[in-house]
Structure 1
Amino acid sequence: MSTDDFLAGGGEMAEAIRTFDWASTELGPIKTWPVSLKTTMRLVLASRQPMCFWWGRNLLQVHNDAYLPMLGLRKDTALGQPFANVWADIWEGILPYAQKALAGEGTWAEELPLVMFRNGFEEQTYWTFSYSPIYGDDGAICGLLNIVTEKTQAVADRMALQASIEDARRHLHNKEAYQQELRLLNGELAHRMKNTLAMVQSIASQTIRGAASLSEAASQVSARIQALAKAQDLLTGKSVASAEMREIVENAIGPHCDRPDRFTLAGPSLKASSRQALGLSLALHELATNATKYGSLSSVGGTVRVEWGETTDGFFLTWTESGGPPVPQPQRRGFGSKLTERVVADLFRGEAKIGFEPDGVVFKLRGQLDPLSPLRPAADSEPDGGTS
């Protein structure tokens, strides 16, 4: 077999091999090469699959045209160089595979991750390859054959696809959560509308019943409905960072205060975050509505005391009704009770409980104000008593 025979049709690398100074290497001049070396070289050069092989004591590298893109900046210096020198940056990662193949055991790796410095910078790469022993004319192992496919782009595409899938799942989860929240809000809106209409009816009937004249009744009904609207402003959320506790309470009870002694408020100047203010306003709104329907506010002599403050354990608020009709333990708990207890307890990271005592309903809240809205008592921090 002549030199021209085994290099014929080998492309760019065949010409590079033909002109390379092999006499200065351990392989010696081309005319002295064994048949096994020439046969292996011909097989590699004729393949369109990226392939290379390493031959001799120092495992000098030979590769085909399809292998050139994998070399990056090394492509002009890799031919005829020792395996360990060409791939010094990944040598520790591939050495175990090479050692097995040199011992006569073929190896296989699937998407092996290797950090490579082939283009002047570190890059994460992935490779699927096999190392097979090459046997010389005398039957002894004299080299390694490497059939390889770079999987870096395929792995990156798969990772990107997986990220897109995860993003889609998060989007669907958020959409489902949004739809669930929307359903809850719609239910709450319907419930709130019913309560609002019931409160308007109660305000109108109580005002007309106690008014001296029709004009006085009209004026009082108008004023109380305006107070209800003011409370609803807080219920629907205003763009504020925090709210004073007294303002929260007064806004919630305002539509139900038909005379000065109906409510007694006692507590220091404390501020709650907007989300806690909204939740507490909803709870107080529920309590006042139920008190107007069934509790102390449904009776001429009934009253409510609202007290708040801070202890070593954190924030507290108590709603205490008295002077109304007996309040039986309800057979079922509606949305309003769940809102008053569960939601407010979560918002204040504590406990909230409605008690149906012989003298009237008692609501107790124990928890913490949000860190972004710290307790800020006024100069006179002693609880103040008063009426609304």
Structure 2
Amino acid sequence: MMIITDISGSLCRCSGSPEMIGLAATPEVSLADEPVRIRAWGLPPQTAITLRAWVRDEKGDIFHSRAFYQTDTEGKVDLEQSEATGGDFRGIYPMGLFWALKPTTPYRRLIKQDVMGSPFLVHLELYPSVLLVPSEDHLPAVTTVVERWYVAPGVQRLQVRDGRVRGALFLPPGEGPFPGVIEMFGGLGGLLEFRSSLLASRGFACLALAYSAYEDLPKFMPTVDLTYFEEAAQFLLRNPKVSGDGVGVVAVCKAAEIALCMASYLPQVQATVCLNCPNALYGNFLTYGNISMEAIPYQIQKVQIHSETIQFSSALDDPRKPEYQDSVIPIERARGPVLFCVGDKDQLCESLFFANEALARARKKGKQNVYVRRYPGAGHLLEPPGSPFCPVSQSAFFPVPVIWGGELVPHCTAQETCWREMRDFLHSNLGPGTKSKL
């Protein structure tokens, strides 16, 4: 669990300099969605330096970044004010070294698995020159380490095995009650918990829900059995620490497609956030009681291959075709508001087009509380603030890496905005007697 400690920074005497070189990152211990301020001092004035960051994930893979800065007239650098002149990015971006972390082994993605037991340890290094080609012979003048936790003190994690439902429930400290949220990741299966643990750290009772390739769940999901997701909502609402008579749902990609179905058919769903997803059912037949929905087949023969990578968006056929109208998700049936958060540089699916199609259908059918939030320059993987930009990575579904899209600075800026807007939307629309707001 995260423990807050005092920060003293790191110091080193530079050869030939009477002053100590200092490097500090504050706070030194923080939640992963919080900003970190990085400062250096005790350097010669108007001198080019290199700041480097690196982190080792739980599999042992290294992710690293670096940027060049020029000290001011007092020999200081403050990333809240100082401009990166080169390296992995240029400009004034206080979190740029975190945003730009990239894998040493190509196509790996930095994902926190054990959210409770340990933080990511991000190492920061200062070199008093421009380091174009790093090697073991280059030793930093000074270093420091920051702890990036995915769970706040007092948050509980409860393993969930309730009937068919599998996942992990995160409860904030205190008696509550708290707004309840179901959170799901895309179609790769398994269980990722880092978004749920951070949402619980921000006051939500959050169920990280698995639906395939986890414990005794089927490896693949040939059919979307919406009853399973209703059972998950009922399980969450039975918890005495969960407020109100409805839950929120936050999901990305294929899971957001399911979330949109949940919003449209399940009475327990009160507010929904869909991150980069279609407005129709693709690939997987859906059942719910006496309701069934055919899926639009994936057009795998239309995917584009770019050298070592694959672009999947062209495999999603146009849902406006007459033969696919029964596969379009009836968003107008949703009990509560729906927020689409979309990156307009998403290369996994044309999420902005799909979101606008959903909005147009909702308006035509008389539903007004559907919102589309477009993030210019953002790609598919909209994750919590401070998460590294990942434009392409290996996927279990494909033999070659998948292009997610986006551009470094606008994507990571969008992650900060999206995280805030998503939480505000959920807080405003969950609980008894709430009216839909954005």
Q: TM-score, normalised by structure 1?
A: 0.23
Query: Whose helix fraction is larger, Structure 1's or Structure 2's?
Result: 1
Higher RCO (CA 8 Å, separation ≥ 6 residues): 2
